[in-house]
Structure formats: C-alpha cells, structure tokens
Amino acid sequence: MKNVTMKTVLLAGTLAVSSLAAQAEYEQVNLTVFGMDCAPCAHAIHVSMKGIPGVKTVDVDLNTGLVTIKLAPGNGAAMRQFNQAVEKNGFTHKDATVVARGKLTGTASAPFFEVAGTQDRFALTPDSSPAGVSALLGKTVTITGVLPQAAKGKVADTLRYKTIAEAQ
C-alpha cells in the first residue's frame, strides 16, 4: 500500500513538472532593433524570426524599429535565438520587453526567473517600486518586464519586471 502511494505521488509530481514545463515560455517579445532602413531589412528580420520554432506572428515597424513577436503556447524558443536572428542580418538588438511564464526561484532578496524549456534564467529586479515576490517563490508566474541590451552573442542576465503575478 505504501509502495502504491509513493508511486502515485511520484507520478503526480512528474505530471506536475511536465505541466509546468509545458506552460512556461515566452508569450510575447517586443524587441527594438537598430539599423533597419528599408523593406528588405524588415523582411529579413521577419523571415529569420518566423524560422524560430514556436513563433506565431512577427510584425516589424521600420519607423520605430520595433519587432513584435508572438509565440504559440508550449514553445521552447529562447532569447538567444531572437538576438541571433537580429545579428545574422547585420543589425543590433536593443532593449526587449517580454511577457513570459516561468518559475520563480532563489530567495526573496535575490529572486530568479527561469523560463522552463530553455536555459534562460534571469535575476529579477523591479522596474520601479519593488513588489513583494516572497509569496511567489517556487510558483509559476507570469512576468512582464524589460531585458536591457546585451552585447553581441549575449543575452541580458537581469530582467527588470514591471508586473508579476501567479500564472493562472
């Protein structure tokens, strides 16, 4: 009986982790790109972003340099892939505003946000007034925040969150 209970707990745990992984991902990335002057520049970015598995729609505004990427549920796209799509076309990525689901880890004083299904892990800092995150530690949360510009080939390691809430 005890053995059966243990198996049930393990199975439930595995399902919970699987469910967590499937639900944790980038939902939207608004990436500012410098250097695009013409239609082929925007088309190149569009084609490159669409080539990333999980990307649903891409919109490029040449006059603001804003690339809006919406992703399908369950995607495994990583931030490095978005930056790489910009770099391979000879442009420069700046700040990115992201909406993502992931797990809040670390401590109340040094929280981290992990986007499961990827290797993306960001130190969290509040964008303005700090919000209490201790109650959310260990939970799956939805965050809207800004990733500052990173050097070529790199991804920012800090996410400045604007909103954070437990994922539904």
The residues binding another protein (CB under 8 A) are 32-44, 46-48, 50-52, 60-65, 76-78, 80-81, 84-85, 87-92, 118-119
**What is the separation of C-alpha 148 from the centre of its chain, rounded to a whole number of angstroms?**
13
Cβ 55 to another protein shortest distance, Å: 10
Cβ 144 to another protein shortest distance, Å: 22
Of 35 and 138, the one with the shorter C-beta distance to another protein is: 35
Of 66 and 123, the one with the shorter C-beta distance to another protein is: 66
User: Measuring CA to CA, which residue among 74, 77, 14, 22 is closest to residue 49?
Assistant: 77
Of 13 and 35, the one with the shorter C-beta distance to another protein is: 35
What's at 125, amino acid-wise? T
**What is the separation of C-alpha 4 from the centre of its chain, rounded to a whole number of angstroms?**
38
Measured CA to CA, the distance from residue 157 to residue 78 in angstroms comes to 13
Cβ 138 to another protein shortest distance, Å: 24
Cβ 107 to another protein shortest distance, Å: 27
User: Measuring CA to CA, which residue among 91, 115, 95 is closest to residue 105?
Assistant: 115
